[in-house]
Structure 1
Amino acid sequence: MSVLDEWTGRRTPGRADLDAQGPDPTGEVVFRAITDARDVDDFDMRHLRYFLAVVRAGTVSAAAQELRISQPSLSQQIRRLEQRVGAALFIRSSRGVELTAGGRAFLREIQGIPGQLRSAIAAAAPAPRVWPVGVCGGVPADVLIEVQHALSGGHGHGGHAHGGHAHGGRAHGTRPHGGREAGAKLRMRSVGAADQGELLRHGEIAFGIVRLPFPMTHVVRAVVRDEPLGVVMAREHALAAGAELTWRDLARQRLLWYEEGCAPGFADTVPAHLARLGWDVVLHRVDHDQHALFLHALQTTADLVALRPRRAVEREPHLVWRPLPTTRPPRERLAVTALGGSRTARVLQEVSAERGWAFLTE
C-alpha cells in the first residue's frame, strides 16, 4: 500500500486532524500535485534560477557574471525556457532586457517557488544545516553575537558563541527550540538592505538584519536594538568642546548620511524627523557604511557631523557624542527580518518571545 493509499483510506478528519497531519488526508491535494508535476516534468529549477537572475540583473551579461557561466550559455538556456513556456519572456535591446507581458505573468507566478522549495526542505529536515543571514552595513558586533546566539538555540543573552566570531561560527547547546535546534549554524554575510527583501523572497537568505523602517510587505520583524540617535563629530570639531548643542549650532553643519540604497526607509525618515524638529539638514550622502571611511570623513571635513547611537561610538577615542537638543530624537531600530508565513518567521516569533524582542508583523 502506498503512502497515498494510506491517506485516502483514512476517515474524514476534523480541522485539528488536518493541522496535525499536514498533507490533505483525502488525497485531493496530492493527486492535483501529481498532475501538475507530470505537466512540468521537463522543467529544471536551474532555468528558473537563470530567469530570476536575468530579471534581477537587467542584462544577460550581468546575470551571466553573477551566475559564473558564459553569456552565450545563459542566452541559450533562456531561449530553451522560452521554448518550453511557449512565449517570449524578454524583450532584448542594446540597453539590456525588459519583461514582456508574458514574462511579467511568469515572474508573478514562479518567483515564490525557490523559497517554497527551500521551506519544504527545511520543514522535512530535523534542523537546518545552515541559515544564511544578510547583514546591512554598520551593525555592531554585539548585535550580531546576540542574534546568532538567539537563532542558533544557545543559552544566555548576548553570550559568545563557540568559534569566536558571529560570522559562520557555531553556537553549542543542548535544548531544542521548536523550529530550530541547538547547534544550528548561521552564515552571516554583508548584504545591502535594499537587496535583502528580494533575497528573502527567493529563499537566498533565511533572515536579514536591517534598520527600520524596512519597506517590504509580507515580512516579519523582531527589534533587537532600539536606541536614540545623537550627534557624532571628530574630537577636533569646533562644537566638540561644548556639552550641549542647539539647533542653531547644527544649522551650520552638514550631515554625513546614507544613500537611499544603503538604508531604504531609514535614510529618508530620519532627515524628515529632524526637519520637523527644526534642523533642515543638508545631507552629505555616502554609498557605504565602512567605519574607517566614516571616521576619515568626520576627521577631515570641518563642518561635517553624523548621527549614531551613543553605544556605537563611545569607545572610539577620535569621536565625541552629544545628544540632540530634543526629548524626541530619532531612533535607530535594528531588527531581524524573515519572510512572513515561513518556518523562519515562526522561529523568529518564538525567539522574540524568549528574548523580549518586539515582534512586528507589519
Structure 2
Amino acid sequence: MDVDLRLVRYFLVMAEELHFTAAARRLYVSQPALSNQIRRLEAQLGFQLFDRTSRGVTLTPEGAAFVPHAQKALAAIRAGIADAAATSGRSDVLRIDVLESALAAPQAVLARLRDRFPTMRLEVSSRGSAEQDRRLLAGDLDLGLCGATATQPDGLDQLVIHREPLGVAVPAEHRLAKADAINLADLAHELHYLPRDDFAPEWNALVVAQCAAAGFSPRRHPASTDGTGPALELVRAGECVALGLLSTPCPDGVVVRPLRDAIPRYEWVVRWRQPGTQRTREAVDAISSGRSGSPLL
C-alpha cells in the first residue's frame, strides 16, 4: 500500500489538535483542504481515522492505534534524511530547544556546541519541555535541554549533564533579603511565581513537592510570563517570591538566597530521539564531555 507521507503529517497534526481550524492554521492550509486531505488518507488506508460530530472531533479506535506508528514512520524518514545529509557533509544545522536560554546552563551548552562545531548553525528555540518531547518524537527537533522528569518518555534517550543548587529570589527590601540562607517554611505565606504548567511541568512538580515537604502548599501568583526576566520583574515589584537556580542572573532590586532545606539539586538533561543521528550523537558527546572532559559549568 502506498501512503502519502504528507497526508500522514496532516493526520498527526490533526490528531494533536482535534480541531480542524487549529490544525489547518498550523499547517498553513485551508480548513476545507485539510478535511479533504484527511478523507483522502482514510480512503488510502481503508478505515476512518476521526469521528466528526456536532460536539467536535475525536480519534476513532483505528485512528488512535495508527498514531504511534505514523509518528515513528515520519520520524524515521526525517532521521534518514538527516543521516544522509550528514554523510554528504551538507548537514550544518542543529535544532535545539532549551529552557530559558539566558540561564547559565543553557548558555554553557550553546557555547560548548559553538566551540566544538564552529561551522554549524544552531537553531535555538524555547518552547517548553512538553513541546520538546513532541517535537523530538516527530523529528522536528534534534536536541532538547530541560529538567529531568520522574519517567523518561518512550522513544527518547536522555543524559543528565549538570546538577544545580536551588535558591529563592526575593525583593531587595524583603524581610529575608539579608539572610545568609532561607528556610523554605518561612515562605509559606508568600505568593510564589511558577511558570505555566505546560511549559515546565518538571520544575513546577519539584517546587510543589519541596513546599509540601516543608509543610505548605504554595500560593501561586496569577501572572504567567514569557521567561525568567519578566518573572523577576514581578519579584522586584514585591508581588511574589520565586524559587529558582542560584546561578540565575538577577536585576537590581532582586536578590537570590540559598535554601537551608536539604532540597535536591535541579537536574539538567539533554534529550534526543532514539537512536539519534550521527550529528546528534556528536552533539551530545560535546555537551557531556567537552574538549578535555571538563564539567559543564
Instruction: Calculate the TM-score normalised by the size of structure 2.
Output: 0.86
Residues 235-287 of structure 1: per-residue CA shift (max 9 Å, x gap): 12232243343455322222211232121223113321232244543333654
Identify the residue that residue 258 of structure 1 maps to in structure 2. Answer: 195
How far the C-alpha of 1:76 sits from its partner, in A, is 0.8
Q: Corresponding residue for 1:60?
A: 20
2:74 aligned partner: 114
Structure 2 stretches of 5 or more lacking a match?
none
Does the C-alpha gap of structure 1 residues 331 and 312 become closer, same or farther in structure 2, counting only changes over 3 Å?
Answer: same
Provide the C-alpha distance between the structure 2 equivalents of 1:149 and 1:298, rounded to a whole number of angstroms: 29
Q: Quick one: structure 1 residues 269 and 245, their matched pair in 2 at CA, closer, same or farther if it must change by over 3 Å?
A: closer
From the superposition, tell whether residues 233 and 325 of structure 1 become closer, same or farther in structure 2 (CA, over 3 Å). same
Q: 1:85 aligns with which of 42, 45, 53?
A: 45
Paired residue for 2:64, among 96, 104, 108? 104
1:174-323 aligned within 5 A: 183-213=119-149, 215=151, 216-284=153-221, 286-302=223-239, 304-313=240-249, 315-323=250-258
> TM-score normalised to the size of structure 1?
0.72
Aligned residues: 289
- Deviation digits for residues 63-114 of structure 1 (CA, Å, limit 9, x no counterpart): 1011111111111111111111111110012343211111122223221112
In 2, distance between residues paired with 1:46 and 1:184? 28
Q: What letter corresponds to residue 135 of structure 1 in structure 2?
A: V
The letter of the residue matching 2:121 is: K
- Letter in structure 1 aligned against 2:270: V
SS in 2 for 1:329: coil
Q: Is the 8 A contact 2:101 2:107 kept in 1?
A: no
Once superposed, what is the RMSD of the aligned Cα atoms? Answer: 2.6
Post-superposition offset of 1:228? 0.9
Q: Following TM superposition, where does structure 1 have runs of at least 4 consecutive aligned residues deviating by more than 6 angstroms?
A: none
- Whole-Å Cα distance in 1 between the matches of residues 247 and 231 of structure 2? 16
**Residue in structure 2 matched with residue 350 of structure 1 by the alignment:** 285
Q: Is 2:110 the partner of 1:148?
A: yes
The structure that has the greater radius of gyration is 1
Query: Which of residues 338, 344, 357 in structure 1 aligns to 2:272?
Result: 338
% identical equivalent positions: 30
- Aligned mates of 1:250, 1:71 — CA distance in 2: 50
Q: 1:149 to 1:246 in 2, by over 3 A?
A: closer
SS in 2 for 1:293: helix
- In structure 1, distance between residues paired with 2:156 and 2:225: 25
